[in-house]
Amino acid sequence: MAGEGEVLPLLAVSHTERHCCLARGWRTYHGLLLEHPLLTKSVTASLMAATGEFVGSYLKKSGPGTPRERARRLGAFAVFGLVVNGPAFHFWYAFLEQLAQRWSKLTGGHHIILFKVIVDRLLMTPPYLVLTLVGLRWLQDFKLLLALQACALVYKSALLLNWKLWTVAQVINFNFVPLEYRVLFGNLVAAVWCAILSLLG
């Protein structure tokens, strides 16, 4: 019994330490987000995109076979997240918020979330998906024609999948997530989305 009594405090301390580590990590991230919002969101986007590609490649047993090809794909997702995804959505969410405020003045505050979702899904998504598919492919070998051809092959199925996954995610994002954390939430969803893109090839 004495042994059991000694274990419980250790477990309690371990749980407390884990909680403190998570709290410190969150405070650090929040501080970086306030001081360097664009850089913090971009680095987070890069890490999440690379994570999604890694998971997708693992699930796709018939994916690129050589270590060099896998490294190129991983690098493409990481670079695209850093240079394109992070900055793009940092500015897009701020712009969308301004549009929503104007819409609110015109309509008396009605259907703001619906407005954001429709604008995001119908105006932003179709062209941005082209940029994503072409950009990710181009970053692997810098051959634009091949990138455009690869985009054409998967665009329709990718767009339908995007609307299914991201519409629900954006309803949650616009309803419950503060503006400064929307890119972070999007990055978490993007890890799943990047895994899907990896599976699509």
Q: Give the per-residue pLDDT at 170.
A: 95
Average pLDDT, integer, range 13-39: 83
Indicate if 141 and 50 belong to the same structural domain.
yes
Neighbours of 151 (CB within 10 A): 20
Indicate if 138 and 166 belong to the same structural domain.
yes
Of the listed ranges 66-70, 147-151, 152-156, 163-167, the least confidently predicted one is: 66-70
Q: Give the per-residue pLDDT at 17.
A: 67
In the chain, which ranges are continuous DSSP H helix? 2-35, 37-59, 67-80, 86-107, 112-118, 125-141, 144-176, 182-200
**Helix 182-200 and helix 86-107, axial crossing angle in degrees, nearest 10:** 120
What percent of the chain shows pLDDT beyond 70?
88
Q: Give the per-residue pLDDT at 96.
A: 96
Indicate if 19 and 66 belong to the same structural domain.
no
User: If DSSP codes are grouped into helix, strand and coil, which group holds residue 201?
Assistant: coil
CA distance 40 to 82: 10
On the question of pLDDT at 10 being above 50, the answer is: no
Closest by Cα among 171, 99, 176, 162 to 125: 162
What percent of the chain shows pLDDT beyond 90?
68
Q: Give the per-residue pLDDT at 63.
A: 54
Indicate if 22 and 94 belong to the same structural domain.
no
Over residues 39-65, the pLDDT tens digits come to 999 999 999 999 999 988 888 765 556
Buried (b) or exposed (e) across 153-177, using 16+ Cβ within 10 A? Answer: ebbeebeebbeeebeebbeebbeeb
Indicate if 79 and 147 belong to the same structural domain.
yes
Indicate if 52 and 15 belong to the same structural domain.
no
Indicate if 27 and 4 belong to the same structural domain.
yes
Decide: 170 and 116 in contact? Cβ < 8 Å: yes
Q: Give the per-residue pLDDT at 65.
A: 66
User: If DSSP codes are grouped into helix, strand and coil, which group holds residue 22?
Assistant: helix
Dump the DSSP string for 77-102: HHHHIIIIIHHHHHHHHHHHHHHHHH
Over residues 78-136, the pLDDT tens digits come to 999 999 999 999 999 999 999 999 999 999 888 999 999 999 999 999 999 999 999 99
Q: How many structural domains is the chain composed of?
A: 2
Indicate if 143 and 192 belong to the same structural domain.
yes
175 φ, ψ (degrees, to nearest 5): -80, -40
Decide: 50 and 82 in contact? Cβ < 8 Å: no
Residue-number span of the structural domain to which 165 is assigned: 37-200
Indicate if 5 and 87 belong to the same structural domain.
no
Q: Give the per-residue pLDDT at 201.
A: 66
Q: Give the per-residue pLDDT at 4.
A: 47
